[in-house]
Structure 1
Amino acid sequence: MIHQWRWDPCISHNGADVSTFIREYFQGQDRNVLLIAGAGFDPRAKVIAEQIAATGVRRRAIFMRENRPNPSPPLVTRASGNIEGLTAAFPDHEIAEIQIFEIDLAVVGGRNAAKVVARQNFDGVTDVVVDVSALSVGTSFPIIRLFVEQIAKGLAPANLHLFVAHDPALDAAITPIAGDTPGYVHGFVGGATLDRNGSAAKLWLPQLASGRRGALGKLHEFVIPHDTCPILPFPARDPRMGDRLVEEFLTELESAWSVDARDIVYADETDPLDLYRTILRLNDLRRPVFSEVGGSVTVLSPLGSKVMALGALMAALERDLPIAYLEALGYDMKPSIGAVAAPPHFVHIWLEGDVYPKPRPPLHHERTNAR
């Protein structure tokens, strides 16, 4: 099948190559960086910022502090320590207080984060870096979407880089406290709420993650899919991870979701492009099959690894796919986790930039608006 996908090929780096890229690329005298990163409790919050600062590049930052109800005092203390390190690495900075919930617990974090970005002055900035390591999906995805759309209009710096410091063991030590109201990530409703898609065959692609049975159960009730294809990490750092997730979700797979073993989607835990291509293939294969009977809608729920979540993000951007998500009311973390992150696995995606030839395959909304 001949296809034109925007990020195939894609400029990306993995593992030790990411540190090499940061060191060689940002040392250029013509670079001026705007970093957007989380200023929370996650021990990975400072890792990318410190590597960029070590190059001596001209730089400033927006550090987003995601505020949720009744935060745990030990996590607040950890966040304060991270902020000290982040501000030392980026003396020219803004700390943006992002309220994730309204008083009535309506989710507004993505909208608030996008407003902070929209009012920025990008004069002289050559590269925007979004470090999603310590940002939630509900906050980081709307920011990234805004930059992609602004770059297409010539209103933002041409180069957009996504970084993540990946550590499955640390992810397992952080337990989100799920909220009660699932919804769509700000900017990622897609066609899920359109009347013309009311009879469409709905495919749900949830990322399975340990400890998230309750959240994924609520999302299933919210999406009400006709078919479910769970996403498992394979290959993964822990070769047994997929097996353990199947055991944990066995009731959902066999009963509530009625999943056949052939419906499970496997994606490389350390390569977002693997999941990106898989989602696009599934979406493109379903389109002609259901075109005469109401169409097809593919709904994503990236609750697992942030590396794999980037793959879901890229597919959602390209096809304007809805992302159903349950924002966390708060987090718990094992007290045994140190304040400094163990050496993580780095991933870099050069999402937009002058490195790509023009013209590029258009995004879904660009094709629609051109008609």
Structure 2
Amino acid sequence: MLRRIVRIALFLVGLGLGYEIALGLLWIFNFQDFFTFSLSNNQQLFFIGLIMLGCGTALYLSSPRIIKWSIDIAEWMDSSLQKVPTNEILVGIMGLIVGLIIANLVSTPFRLVPVIGIVVTVILNIVLGYVGVVVAVHKKDELSNMFSFLKKMNKEKLKPEDRIQPKVLDTSVIIDGRILDICKTGFIEGNIIIPGFVLEELRHIADSSDTLKRNRGRRGLDILNKMQKELNVKVEINERDFPEIAEVDLKILKLAQVIGGKVVTNDYNLNKVAEFQGVSVLNINELSNAVKPVVLPGEEMVVQVIKDGKESGQGIAYLDDGTMIVVDGGKKYIGDTLEVVVTSVLQTAAGRMIFAKPRINIQEKAI
């Protein structure tokens, strides 16, 4: 139905264009003044009607191609504008308005000339409108110094709170749940963005037939409900989707690029892909490792050995934050609490590992 309306509209535009062309041709061929013709002058009426009908029919028949071109151009403009910062779009619109105003002022004398006047007016509007956009975008910094209201759109002049990037959460960090506690402490600033496709993925996980997956999905939904109710920061759901992208992780990175945000995750692989694509990432696991107490070789601590290690004679203990301690010769102390001395610390991408020896053994060697 919509296409039929558009085709009819193009036909009417063609009739109007044919009218103007016929008027210009009558003027060029030095026919008698058109504005004084009477309906009895069949020659002029037939000529005008023929031109109008020809132009209207031509646009009507070519309307499917015109509609297709229009849709392609609209999609191209939409994808291109997503990559352009908002301040540049606003500056470009202002430049376009100024260019069109100048074009209409310059083309006013030409409008009295049939056909030629219309062509000149259209060309001037296109050229000066484009020039206005280009000049405004390229000279936005200089213009911002001339007009105080443009300074508000200059990214360098924004207030600190306006520069805070929104945080886009992925599925893993929501299910993990630590993001709720981190947000409560105030370390995460800016709006919290929950992509609609992430929420949909959580729903699918919560409806899974697998008990473990179902529990993880429901935990993630519970975390989101608590974040909306208990946090002081704004939590919003972004329904923008990217049908051409299949994977949820890649959609998250694309959304972060579009809105200029940071991705919050604890997925190691997503972290690496984001670094490759130039998207800023806040990794919860990296934060967790960063806030663990610093342990230096030679320090003493009290631990409980709970199991044996991979190597012969080793025992394994854990700190309260989950850091694993490998106690050399600690296998015989399994189940006991003892003092150990740190010998070395190994930091890996997966976390931190502490190597230690029982203090008793060191004292015996000293004796």
More helix by share: 2
TM-score between the two structures when normalised by the length of structure 1: 0.29
More strand by share: 1
Q: Which has the higher contact order (CA 8 A, sep 6+)?
A: 1
TM-score between the two structures when normalised by the length of structure 2: 0.29
Give the number of the structure whose alpha-carbon radius of gyration is greater. Answer: 2
